[in-house]
Each structure stands twice: as C-alpha cells, then as structure tokens.
Amino acid sequence: MMKQEPRIGVFVCSCGTNIGGVVNVPEVAEYARKIAHVMHAEHNLYMCSEAGLTTIKESIREHNLNRVVVASCTPRTHEPLFRAACKEAGLNPYLFEMANIREHDSWVHPHEPEKATQKAKDIVRMAVAKAILLEPQNEPEVEVKGSSLVIGAGVAGMTAALSMANQGFKVHLIEKEKELGGMAQKLYKLYPTLANASEVVEPLIDDVKSHRNIELATSTTLKEASGYIGNFNAILTGPEGDSELIVGTIIVAPGSSNYTPPKGLYEYGLNDNVITQKELDEKLRKGEIGEPEQIVMIQCVGARKGEIRPTELEAFPKSDTAELLRKILKARKEEGWPYCSRICCMNAIKNAILIKEKSPKTDVVVLFGDLRVYKEYEDFYRKARDLEVRFIRHIEEVRPGISQTPEGKLQVMVYDALSGMEVTFPADWVVLSTPLIPSKDEIMLARMLKIPIATDGFLMEAHLKLRPVDTNVDGVFIAGTVSGPKDISESIISGEAAAARASILMGNRKVKTDAITAVVDEELCIGCGLCEEICPYGAPKIEEGKSKVREILCRGCGSCAAECPKRAITMRHYSDGQILTQVKALLTSEGSKEVGQ
Amino acid sequence: MVEERFENEKLGEEFEPLIVAYCCNWCSYAGADLAGTSRFEYPTNIRIVRIMCTGRVDPTLVLEALRMGADGVLIAGCHPGDCHYQKGNFMMEKRFDYLKEALKNAGIEPKRVRLEWVSASEGGKWAALIREMTEEIKQLGPNPLRRTKAPKRTDATISAFKSQRLRWVVGRSQIKVEIEEEKYRQTVDLIMQDEIERHMITGALKEKGSLTAEELAQMTGLQPSKIVQHLIALRRDGKISEAGEKNNQYLYQLA
C-alpha cells in the first residue's frame, strides 16, 4: 500500500466553558493550524454535539483529510463517538487520535490559564505527532456460536439461563451442588417484602428444569476452558465423567460465601448463643429462637476493616492470580474484609422485624458503626424503629466488647456515641452480621477463564461503571455476587444484564474484536519462545521456528513487545514509534520542527 | 517553541520541569481522568502518554524520553492484583529493577523515574503524586542530558537495552528461572555493564571509522584491559573486524 501524505484535521472543543473557560481555545486552534501536515484546524463549542460531529465529517470530505485529531475530553468515554464519525465519513476509525485537554488540563489547572493553554498546545502537538504515524487497522471478525455456558445455578445464573433460553439460545447450565438455587435456597425470608425466599427461588428452579433450551447438569463443574469469544471449548466434569462443549459465550455466576468469624471473635465458636446472621436465619426458619428477653446484633463483623493492599502481604506472589486470591483469602480470615457488604444492614433489620413481630416483648438491639439503608429500605428501617428495635451507634473504631455475667449469661458492652457512655446489654443471643466474601470456586474459574481479580478478591468488571457485567475476556460475563455483594433483586438484575450482553453477541452471530494486537516481524523473529511463555492469554505460538500471534486471543497489553529479545513484535496502534513520536514532539526541537512558521 | 522554553531556564526563570507520564489505559489514565472530574488541582508539568498496560513499557521508552530531555518519567499502572491483563504490572515491576540499574549506568539520577500504582478511583492520589513528583524534580534541577551534546554512555545504555543479549536475560527473569533470584539479578547487571561498554566501543568506532585499543580506551574512559576483553568478544560475534595497523597496534572497525 502506498503511504499517503498525512492530511490532518484538528478540532478543538471548548466543551462550553469546561475547556474554554480556562484554555484559550481559539489560540490552540490557531497554533494547531501551523503544525506541519495540519490541513485544517478549527474550534467548536461542543465537538460531540450533532453539529460538531457533522463539522468533522464535512471537513474530512472538504479538505480530503486522512487523519483526525479532536482535542477535547477523555478518549475513555468519547473516542468511540468520534471514531464512528470518522468511519461515517469513510475514514478508518484507527486514523483518529484524541487530545485530552479537559480532564488532564482545564479541569485540573483552573487557576493557571496561561500554563493550561501552553499545556493544551503541547498535548495537541503530541496528538498530531501520533496521528502522523497512525495506520488503518482492521478489526478481526469471528463467528459466534448461538449457545452459552452458565456456571452456577443460583438466582443470578438461573435468571441469565432462562433469559437466554427464552430468546432461543441453547444454554448449558451447570451447578456444583446437587440442588439448584444457590445461596438464596438456604435463606428464610427476604427483605423488604418479608416474602419467603422459596417464593422467588422455586418458580425459577421449576422453569429452569422444564425449559427445552436449557441443558442442566448438577454436581458438575468446569474442568478446563480454552478458545475465545464465539468459540469457547469447555470441559465439564460431573458424576458421569468428563464431557466437552463448544459454546459462543460464558456467564460466570458461582456466587460468593458468607464470612465465618474466626473462633473466639465475640466468643463465636466458644459460646453456642453467639451466631451469625445466616445462622439466625436458619433458626428463625426452624422456630428455634422462641421468645428470648434480649437479642443483640453486632454489625460489620469482619467487614470494613480498612484496606490492606496485597503488596503488603507477606511473600507476595509474582504473577499468579490464583495464588494472589489465596493469599488475600488467608489474610482476610484474620484481618477481615475492607468493603461494605451492602446487604447486612437490611438483613439485620429484617431479622429484627421478624423477631419483633413474633415476640414483641423481646428487646432487639442493633449495634452499628454506620447504618446503610438506601432507597426504599429507609422505610424498612423506620418500620423496625416503630416496632421498637433499638439502634445504637458506636464509633466505628471502638468495637463492642463481649463477656459473661457470673451467672453465665452473655453481655455486650458498647460505647454509645450519642450519649457518650459505655452501655451494657445482657443478651440471650448475640448475632454477628458478617459480609459476603469471595468463594473458593472463584479461584479456579478466574484462572481457567483468565478473568482478573480485584484487590477485594471478587472478579473484576471490565469497567466498574460502564461495563459492569462484562469481563476483560471478550464473550465472558459475570452475574450475581461473584463480582461483589448483591441482594436477590440485584442478582436478578445482573443475571438479566449478563444474559442481554451475551445475547447481543449470539444474536449478531458475528463479532469484531479489537485491532490492538501484537504483530510479529518474521524476518526478525528467532523463535525463542519468550513471548509464548509470558503471554497470559496464550496468543503467540511458535510454529516452524517463528512466533505466530493468534489475533483473536491477543488482548493487546504489549508485554511481549516490551520483552521480545529481537524487538520483533510491534503493537498495532501502540508501536514504539507511535509512542516515542509523542515524547519527541513534546521535548525535542527535531520533534517540534514539525511546527511550521 | 521547545527551544524557547529551555532558553528561559538559562535566563534564570524558575525551572519548570517537563515530566512524561506513561499511563495505563485502565487504571492510571482513568485515575488522572478522575482527578479532572473531581477538580483536584496539580502542577501543569506533566504530559501523559496513553498506553494500554505498563507491561508495554519497554525500558528503552523510558531511556529515550530522558535522552530527549524529559526531566522526569512516571510510569503509572494498576495496583498489583488489579491488572486488566492479569500480570502486566508485575512484569513492569520486575523490569523496573533493571531499569533503575540502567539509569545509574546512563548517568541519570534514578529519582527522575518513578513507577507508581494509581487506580481508576484514586484521583486524589494522582494529584498528590504529581504535586510530589514535580517538587522532587524541581529540587533535582533540569535533566543534565539536555546540556550534554552527545551523552555517549546514555546512548550506549539505550543500545544495550535494544540488544538481543540483554533483552533475553531481562525477559527470562519474567518467567521462572532455575537459579536464585539475587544471583540472577547480579548476572543480569553484569551483562548490562558488558553490553553498555561494548556499545560505547561500537559507538566510538561508528563515529571515528577505525581506532586502536588505546584510542578506544581514551575515548570511552574504560580500562585498556576491559577494552581488549570486549574487542575479543565483539570480534568473535562478528560485530567488528581488524582494519590494518597504526603505531604497531591493530586498528578496529565495524564489521
């Protein structure tokens, strides 16, 4: 292909006053016009508006532009939009570059307009330099099989399976236990309706069992997984031995576990009347609580313990995700978990209400550092107050203490933050509210499917806000509490969401994957195999003495390019040249010679 | 433009460092975005270059940026365990040990280069980090390489990090090595030293055409015995050849 002379258009956005209120936008556009290869530069109030996008498209045609630079906000949100505009105007979307002069400039330097303008010019010059070296890329396209593997038949997994099955996709639903229903199956009543959990779970189980598109396998786990989006190869192991499947998508919904306090924490494991909220649930179901005089609940037991970064863990492993999680689990066992488990406050309130409704004379006291009752649960909390459940706030750092009276009855001491006094409550039962924590099944699944684990130990979403049920592995989605504590309705939502995301792929039957992949220069490659050994995805493979990168497996991290002894690997869209040209444009007169005048 | 800015320094204006930040797309770039969204203010001295993962940061990308005059280089990625690609940040961390060793060899204060973990939710940490780093670099003063016409040792270090031999041993450290880690490190450092010196020799030969061992010793500042050792190795590898004699000494040239 003949290399075209770069013809670059630069579009500088004011973003209302977000950029224009600090950076001298007309001056930046004027400056851009003088940079070599820039054929057209202008500024606009909102580049992302319909009018702004039309301007870009028209300018591409009018000035015969073959590269576009938009200086505006972060590419993390707006790059897809501008790329699409380029594509509409017939330009390969990879010939677009973004200069972030809002998040990285005007918003952080509001009181230094001159320096911010100078910085904006630098950022634009760097982006133009990269644009000059951009190359068109093609996103590889793969077929997507119209079938899905759902791992875990809890509420989230069953919801996801049903949703996809109802759309006509073949679903293989596997569950490691003999019974379906997961954690919800073991619950008694649900907040805030106080309905029996079985009313939600049983119909789901019946539907799943009778659906013709769902192939169900209990006592079955995933043994091995390989392949890629659209064509995953899964080996299952169950009572009848191993079986093999090929599916287009995978939904991971193995759930989570409930934190069990270490023996001795608040006398847990030493005194039979100290139980967890989950154990209370079971006792309420069986009617084993009766009409005691006093019940004390302690919130956040093992939760919100201040974050321990895994770097601080002793003998931290170098690269093994599974090993990492094992270490996290071990440390957490003693130290507790850093996050708010989200469901425990409502769960405690629910059980308090259940006790009060049955036995109004029982004094129920809830000791908390912070009580988090969001959305409609505020009313639920009020209901508990109306039933005279007592909520006592202590300072988060000063935890309640527990002891026994000479008569052998439990008593809980707490520093009441409101009265500023130490108060003692005798208790027939002490109930500990403990968080949901990552399950051990997650270790194996994360390893097999190559999903990253976040520092809280749960599986990591592709993007916390924008892609909450996607994982970094294309075609693999997460549902339920495997990505963090959720209640039943939230688990159902995530199950539906994951099913919808998977169905888009299966419905389209084809998918384009990212073009940012590694390319091997076979002339330079000596077939040493280092890339094969370090790649977390198994993308490069040595064949006939040369490394061949299977694009579809490559995620584009570039670790192989950074380590290749022969420097034979280039990252598409992020080559050494494309990176260094920006630095060169910033720092050297040679680089900024591109600036005309 | 750039010249102008560097000129100002000479005129005694307050030194405003330029720091290049290689930020991974998933955590630190997003962390810097969040600093913006949260309106955390910090000095204007940083210029961000987006990469997909710190695993991508070849030591040469850092060395070249310093060679071009960056007063500091920041490599910012996801916290250990949070890598979008599972272990790219671990690979960077491993490499960073060697990079620091390289900086010493290249005559650059190691403090000019930092490897930091900033997550997408740590906008405040990002702002604080930039404030701190800018202050540190101001204390250090301008990158000395800017005033050096041809920093031979730095150039040789960059070449060494492009050489197959050094890259191979650095790369191997990413996977399980059979010998003790500390021993391996020492070996890599020795090889690094070797490669830098050899590239100083080939650099000198490239510049002057042909030189004797004595002249090479003078030009590079290396011990004559070292020069001879390297000449033997370079000849064996086919990198140089003899080019006649001068004052009863062999002349060498690039092969």
Task: Give CA–CA dist A559/B88, Å, rounded.
Answer: 6
Is the domain defined by A8-137 classed in CATH 2.20.28?
Answer: no
Q: Is the pLDDT of residue A309 over 60?
A: no
User: Where would I find the H helices in A15-146?
Assistant: 25-33, 50-62, 75-88, 113-133
Architecture of domain A143-258+437-511: 3-Layer(bba) Sandwich (3.50)
CB contact under 8 A, B36 and A310: no
A265-304+339-434: which CATH topology? FAD/NAD(P)-binding domain (3.50.50)
**Measured distance between the N- and C-terminal CA atoms of chain B, rounded to whole angstroms:** 41
Q: Is the pLDDT of residue A591 over 70?
A: no
What does the pLDDT average to over A331-336?
A: 70
What does the pLDDT average to over A566-581?
A: 97
- Cβ-based contacts of A582 with chain B (< 8 Å): 49
For the stretch B75-118, pLDDT in tens is: 999 988 778 888 899 999 999 999 999 999 888 999 999 999 99
The percent of residues in chain A predicted with pLDDT above 70, rounded, is 93
**Higher-confidence position of A404 and A308:** A404
Interface residue A103 vs chain B (CB under 8 A): yes
pLDDT score at A5: 92
For the stretch A191-212, pLDDT in tens is: 999 999 999 999 999 999 999 9
Task: Kindly indicate the confidence band of residue A312, based on its pLDDT and cuts at 50, 70 and 90.
Answer: very low
pLDDT score at A466: 84
CB contact under 8 A, B44 and A122: no
Task: Give CA–CA dist B23/A61, Å, rounded.
Answer: 34
Task: Kindly indicate the confidence band of residue A338, based on its pLDDT and cuts at 50, 70 and 90.
Answer: confident
pLDDT score at B162: 97
Interface residue A137 vs chain B (CB under 8 A): no
Assign B188 to helix, strand or coil: helix
Residues 3-42 of A with CB under 8 A from B: none
The percent of residues in chain B predicted with pLDDT above 70, rounded, is 95
Task: Kindly indicate the confidence band of residue B1, based on its pLDDT and cuts at 50, 70 and 90.
Answer: very low
Q: Report DSSP state, residue A461.
A: P
CB contact under 8 A, B174 and A563: yes
Tally of residues, chain B: 255
Interface residue A460 vs chain B (CB under 8 A): yes
CB contact under 8 A, A534 and B39: no
| A34 close to A60: Cβ distance less than 8 angstroms | no
Q: In 3D, which of A318, A311, A376, A316 has the Cα closest to residue A349?
A: A376
ipTM of the complex: 0.95
Q: Is the pLDDT of residue A130 over 60?
A: yes
Q: Provide the CATH number for the domain formed by A518-571 in this structure.
A: 3.30.70.20
| B53 close to B85: Cβ distance less than 8 angstroms | yes
- From residue A137, give the alpha-carbon distance in Å to each of A1, A91, A196, A548, B70: 13, 11, 55, 18, 31
CB contact under 8 A, B90 and A452: no
Q: In 3D, which of A324, A330, A325, A372 has the Cα closest to residue A348?
A: A372
Q: Which one of B9, B44, B51, B176 would you mutate to disrupt binding with A, by most A Cβ within 10 Å of its Cβ?
A: B44
Q: Is the pLDDT of residue A320 over 90?
A: no
Q: Is the pLDDT of residue A139 over 70?
A: yes
Q: In 3D, which of A542, A593, A589, A596 has the Cα closest to residue A569?
A: A542
Q: Is the pLDDT of residue A307 over 90?
A: no
Task: Kindly indicate the confidence band of residue A326, based on its pLDDT and cuts at 50, 70 and 90.
Answer: low
Q: Where are the domains of chain A?
A: 8-137, 143-258+437-511, 265-304+339-434, 518-571
pLDDT score at B8: 55
| B198 close to B234: Cβ distance less than 8 angstroms | yes
Q: Which residues contact A374 (CB under 8 A, 6 or more apart)?
A: none
Task: Give CA–CA dist A195/A189, Å, rounded.
Answer: 5
pLDDT score at A592: 54
Task: Give CA–CA dist A338/A305, Å, rounded.
Answer: 5
The whole-angstrom distance between A67's CA and the closest CA on chain B is 18
For the stretch A468-522, pLDDT in tens is: 999 988 999 999 999 999 999 999 999 999 999 999 999 999 999 889 999 999 9
Phi, psi of A113 (to 5 degrees): -55, -40
For the stretch B177-213, pLDDT in tens is: 778 889 999 999 999 999 999 999 999 999 999 999 9
The whole-angstrom distance between B158's CA and the closest CA on chain A is 13
What does the pLDDT average to over A372-378?
A: 91
Q: Which residue of chain B comes nearest to A318, CA vs CA?
A: B90
Tally of residues, chain A: 597
Q: Average the pLDDT over each of A323-337, B10-24, B85-99 and give the range with the smallest value.
A: A323-337
- From residue A99, give the alpha-carbon distance in Å to each of A71, A119, B26, B57: 4, 11, 17, 21
The partner residue sitting opposite B90, judged by closest CB among A319, A450, A464, is A319
Interface residue B21 vs chain A (CB under 8 A): no
The partner residue sitting opposite A586, judged by closest CB among B20, B55, B174, is B20
Q: Is the pLDDT of residue A319 over 80?
A: no
**Crossing angle (nearest 10°) for helices A277-286 and A344-358:** 30
CA dihedral A180, A184, A190, A192 (to 10 degrees): -110
pLDDT score at A148: 98
Task: Give CA–CA dist A36/A560, Å, rounded.
Answer: 34
Interface residue B225 vs chain A (CB under 8 A): no
CB contact under 8 A, A455 and B84: no
Q: Report DSSP state, residue A536.
A: T
Q: What is the pTM of this model?
A: 0.79
Task: Kindly indicate the confidence band of residue A227, based on its pLDDT and cuts at 50, 70 and 90.
Answer: confident
Task: Give CA–CA dist B46/B36, Å, rounded.
Answer: 13
The partner residue sitting opposite A562, judged by closest CB among B56, B90, B165, is B56
| A392 close to A414: Cβ distance less than 8 angstroms | yes
DSSP secondary structure string, A483-519?
GS---HHHHHHHHHHHHHHHHHHHHHSEEE--S--EE
Q: Is the pLDDT of residue A20 over 70?
A: yes
Task: Give CA–CA dist B136/B46, Å, rounded.
Answer: 13
Tokens of A295: 């019940």
Average pLDDT, chain A: 91
Task: Kindly indicate the confidence band of residue A311, based on its pLDDT and cuts at 50, 70 and 90.
Answer: very low
pLDDT score at A89: 97
User: Where would I find the H helices in A290-430?
Assistant: 321-335, 344-358, 377-386
- Cβ-based contacts of A574 with chain B (< 8 Å): 51-52, 56
pLDDT score at B209: 94
Rg over alpha carbons for chain B, rounded to the nearest Å, is: 21
Task: Give CA–CA dist B32/B35, Å, rounded.
Answer: 5
Average pLDDT, chain B: 92
CB contact under 8 A, B88 and A557: yes
Phi, psi of B108 (to 5 degrees): -120, 135
The percent of residues in chain A predicted with pLDDT above 90, rounded, is 79
- On the question of a cis peptide bond just before residue B144, with omega within 30 degrees of 0, the verdict is no
Task: Give CA–CA dist B68/A590, Å, rounded.
Answer: 10
Interface residue A511 vs chain B (CB under 8 A): no
- From residue A155, give the alpha-carbon distance in Å to each of A184, A256, A371, A476, A588: 7, 12, 26, 18, 59
The whole-angstrom distance between A105's CA and the closest CA on chain B is 8
pLDDT score at A308: 42
Phi, psi of A55 (to 5 degrees): -55, -45
Q: In 3D, which of B247, B143, B145, B151 has the Cα closest to residue B199?
A: B151
Assign A297 to helix, strand or coil: strand
Q: Is the pLDDT of residue A317 over 70?
A: no
The partner residue sitting opposite A567, judged by closest CB among B50, B85, B162, is B162
Q: Average the pLDDT over each of A147-161, A250-264, A432-446 and give the range with the smallest value.
A: A432-446
Phi, psi of A446 (to 5 degrees): -60, -40
Q: Which one of B2, B99, B162 would you mutate to disrupt binding with A, by most A Cβ within 10 Å of its Cβ?
A: B2
**Crossing angle (nearest 10°) for helices A113-133 and A25-33:** 40
Q: Average the pLDDT over each of A93-107, A230-244, A398-412 and give the range with the smallest value.
A: A398-412
pLDDT score at B106: 87
CB B218: neighbour CB atoms within 10 A? 14
Task: Kindly indicate the confidence band of residue B70, based on its pLDDT and cuts at 50, 70 and 90.
Answer: very high
What does the pLDDT average to over A276-291?
A: 94
pLDDT score at B80: 82
pLDDT score at B82: 79
Do the domains at A143-258+437-511 and A265-304+339-434 have one common CATH topology?
yes
Which structural domains are found in chain B, ordered by start? 17-145 (3.40.50), 163-254 (1.10.10.10)
Q: Is the pLDDT of residue A271 over 90?
A: yes
pLDDT score at A315: 35
Q: Is the pLDDT of residue B2 over 60?
A: no
